[in-house]
């Protein structure tokens, strides 16, 4: 199942509405910019980043569920090593026998040290051979291959380190085919245009948003991921 035109139109309106709400909040004049509209962006950019990061966390499972062959659940609670742990996004593909724990970060490079350390702790826990069977069995795929990785949604991280794979948004098609990558780019452009329209309607930065007709989001046979392809690509980004 893909995104429908109606769903995309509703999402675009919601995104534009939130950006307009943030940038319409009263701000004090800036010592350098005075009352220029860009002052609103400068004062609200952190709020926008926090809101957008939370939105990604809330909706990533929904987006993955639109990718043919994949099933996902957000904030899945599992008993691992005698303690309850909440996996941000648990995704699995019965056709290729793969289960993935996906940690979404809006921009991985912008995360503080404690946040990165927490993700590394999770990676060590989940990837422990004594614990991975518990995770794969939880979704009914006992014996399936398992990986945990960071989805750097709008970042440009080239690779992870110390065994933690980090895969940037422009490369996620190697894991979930092009459906998710196309949607992520569409959402980024909608939000970017909404910001420019608010602070500088005549900006040359305004770009035409991608047309996401239903047929353009389906799976192409030539890019459908294989089990080996998904695992090898994730592993390649671990060091």
Query: What is the reported pLDDT for 218?
Result: 46
How many whole angstroms separate alpha carbon 207 and alpha carbon 204?
8
**Residue 75, domain member (yes or no):** yes
Predicted TM-score (pTM) above 0.85: no
Residue 215 domain flag:
no
Out of 102-111, 128-137, 175-184, 208-217, which region has the weakest mean confidence (pLDDT)? Answer: 208-217
What whole-number percentage of the chain has pLDDT above 90? 53
8-63 pLDDT, tens per residue?
889 999 999 998 888 887 777 766 667 776 766 666 678 888 898 899 989 999 99
Strand order in the sheet with 145-152: 71-80, 83-93, 98-105, 145-152, 166-168
The domain of 74 spans 5-207+225-237
> Tokens in use for 47?
């709020």
- For the chain, what is the domain count? 1
- Token pair recorded at residue 206: 């305004």
Phi, psi of 165 (to 5 degrees): -75, 135
Task: Examine residue 63 and state whether it is found in any structural domain, yes or no.
Answer: yes
Residue 229 lies in a domain: yes
Q: Is the predicted pLDDT of residue 78 greater than 50, yes or no?
A: yes
- Binned at pLDDT 50, 70 and 90, residue 221 comes out as very low
Say which DSSP state 27 is in. -
Is 76:84 a contact under the CB 8 Å cutoff? no
**Domain of 28: which CATH number?**
3.40.1350.10
173, 70 Cβ separation under 8 angstroms: no
At residue 215 the predicted structure's pLDDT band, cuts being 50, 70 and 90, is very low
- 144 or 45: whose pLDDT is higher? 144
| pLDDT, mean of residues 93-101 | 96
**Residue 83 resides in a domain:** yes
* Range with top average pLDDT, 26-30, 125-129, 159-163: 125-129
Residue 218 lies in a domain: no
CB atoms inside a 10 Å sphere around CB 135:
25
Mean residue pLDDT across the chain: 86
- What mean pLDDT comes out for the span 97-116? 94
pLDDT for position 219 = 45
Residue 214 belongs to a domain: no
Q: Return the minimum-mean-pLDDT range out of 53-67, 93-107, 127-141, 197-211.
A: 197-211
Taking 60 as the threshold, does the pLDDT of residue 213 lie above it?
no
> Residue 237: pLDDT band by 50, 70, 90 thresholds?
very high
Residue 123 makes CB contacts below 8 A (sequence gap 6+) with 148, 163, 164
Q: Residue 1, Cβ neighbours under 10 Å: how many? A: 11
CA nearest to 90, candidates 39, 27, 147: 147
| pLDDT average, residue stretch 202-231 | 62
What pLDDT is recorded for position 105? 94
């Amino acid at each position: 199942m893909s995104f429908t035109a109606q769903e995309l139109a509703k999402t675009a309106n919601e995104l534009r509405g939130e950006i307009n709400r943030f940038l319409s909040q009263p701000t004090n004049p800036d010592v350098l910019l005075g009352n220029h509209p860009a002052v609103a962006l400068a004062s609200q950019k952190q709020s926008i980043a926090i809101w957008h990061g939370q939105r990604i966390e809330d909706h990533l499972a929904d987006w993955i569920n639109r990718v043919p062959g994949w099933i996902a659940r957000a904030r899945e609670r599992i008993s691992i090593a005698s303690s309850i742990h909440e996996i941000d996004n648990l995704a699995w593909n019965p056709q290729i026998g793969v289960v993935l724990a996906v940690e979404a970060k809006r921009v991985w490079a912008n995360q503080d040290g404690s946040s990165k350390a927490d993700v590394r702790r999770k990676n060590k826990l989940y990837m422990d051979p004594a614990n991975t069977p518990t995770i794969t069995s939880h979704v009914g795929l006992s014996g399936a291959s398992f990986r945990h990785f960071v989805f750097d949604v709008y970042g440009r991280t080239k690779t992870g380190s110390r065994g933690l794979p980090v895969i940037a948004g422009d490369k996620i098609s190697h894991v979930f085919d092009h459906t998710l990558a196309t949607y992520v780019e569409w959402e980024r452009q909608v939000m970017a245009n909404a910001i420019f329209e608010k602070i500088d309607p005549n900006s040359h930065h305004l770009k035409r948003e991608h047309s996401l007709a239903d047929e353009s989001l389906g799976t192409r046979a030539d890019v459908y991921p294989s089990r080996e392809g998904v695992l090898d690509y994730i592993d390649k980004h671990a060091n």
